[in-house]
């Protein structure tokens, strides 16, 4: 009897879940597409039909983790002044990254091994962060806490400065107390720049 064909989305999810599990237990570099196919009882060609390369798999798995992280963080706290909200937002995000790196070290391995690739998950993460930073800055302008004119440009500069406490490569091997101090210092510097912009 011929097997019923499963919906493509269901097969895709199974591939992602299995790849995620194998990367977690054996390490990203040690797992080949053939290993994922074997674990699922399908041919490597079937895996390639849904994900054209191992890098595509990494992109999809990373996107999953980013969505989970965003859901875990919830919405932006709107009751505090913008400078406090900025610190709370960055600290929560940094702590979330540290927890992910501790619980899923293979994620860090994937980030390193695919650093030169132009992954869509990286663009989604950046866009989400820029959106949240822009919202905080615009709220700060509206309440009189910040005095800059271009919120988008300011958000982009803040995003670049915050890489020292948010990028996995920058935080993976650093001590928690050093990161906590660094986070306070860099956010204080950003807040000072937003409150007292340089005259042109």
Q: What pLDDT sits at residue 1?
A: 43
pLDDT in tens, 70-98: 777 766 667 899 999 999 999 999 998 88
Answer for the pair 183, 94: CB distance below 8 angstroms, yes or no.
yes
Cα 27 to Cα 142: distance, rounded to the nearest angstrom: 48
Triad 74, 100, 173: Cα angle to 5°: 130
Cα 111 to Cα 194: distance, rounded to the nearest angstrom: 31
Q: What pLDDT sits at residue 188?
A: 98
pLDDT in tens, 97-109: 888 888 877 777 7
Q: What pLDDT sits at residue 71?
A: 72
Domains, the chain, in order of start with CATH, read: 8-52 (1.10.10.60), 58-195 (1.10.357.10)
Select from 155, 156, 165 the least CA-distant residue to 186. 165
Q: What pLDDT sits at residue 47?
A: 94
120-143 and 54-73 are packed helices; what angle lies between their axes, rounded to 10 degrees?
A: 30
Cα 177 to Cα 156: distance, rounded to the nearest angstrom: 27
Residue ranges of the chain with per-residue pLDDT less than 50:
1-2
The DSSP call for residue 140 is H
Cα 45 to Cα 156: distance, rounded to the nearest angstrom: 41
Q: What pLDDT sits at residue 152?
A: 95
Q: What pLDDT sits at residue 99?
A: 87
Q: What pLDDT sits at residue 159?
A: 96
Answer for the pair 40, 14: CB distance below 8 angstroms, yes or no.
yes
State the pTM of this model. 0.79
Residue with tokens 């663009």: 123
Answer for the pair 90, 183: CB distance below 8 angstroms, yes or no.
yes
DSSP secondary structure letters along 10-61: HHHHHHHHHHHHHHHHH-GGG--HHHHHHHHTS-HHHHHHH-SSHHHHHHHH
Q: What pLDDT sits at residue 118?
A: 74
């Amino acid at each position: 009897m011929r097997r019923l064909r499963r919906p493509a989305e269901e097969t895709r999810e199974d591939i992602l879940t299995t790849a995620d599990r194998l990367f977690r237990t054996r390490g990203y570099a040690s797992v080949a597409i053939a290993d994922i196919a074997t674990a699922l009882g399908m041919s490597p060609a079937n895996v390639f039909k849904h994900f054209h390369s191992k890098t595509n798999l990494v992109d999809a798995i990373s996107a999953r983790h980013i969505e989970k992280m965003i859901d875990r963080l919830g919405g932006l706290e709107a009751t505090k002044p913008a400078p406090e909200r900025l610190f709370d937002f960055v600290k929560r995000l940094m702590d979330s990254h540290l927890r992910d790196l501790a619980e899923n070290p293979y994620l860090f391995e994937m980030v390193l091994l695919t650093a030169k690739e132009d992954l869509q998950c990286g663009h989604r993460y950046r866009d989400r962060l820029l959106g949240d930073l822009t919202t905080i800055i615009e709220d700060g302008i509206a309440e009189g806490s910040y005095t800059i004119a271009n919120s988008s440009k300011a958000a982009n500069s803040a995003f670049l400065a915050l890489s020292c406490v948010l990028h996995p490569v920058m935080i993976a091997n650093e001590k928690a107390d050093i990161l906590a101090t660094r986070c306070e210092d860099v956010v204080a510097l950003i807040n000072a720049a937003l409150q007292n912009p340089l005259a042109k």
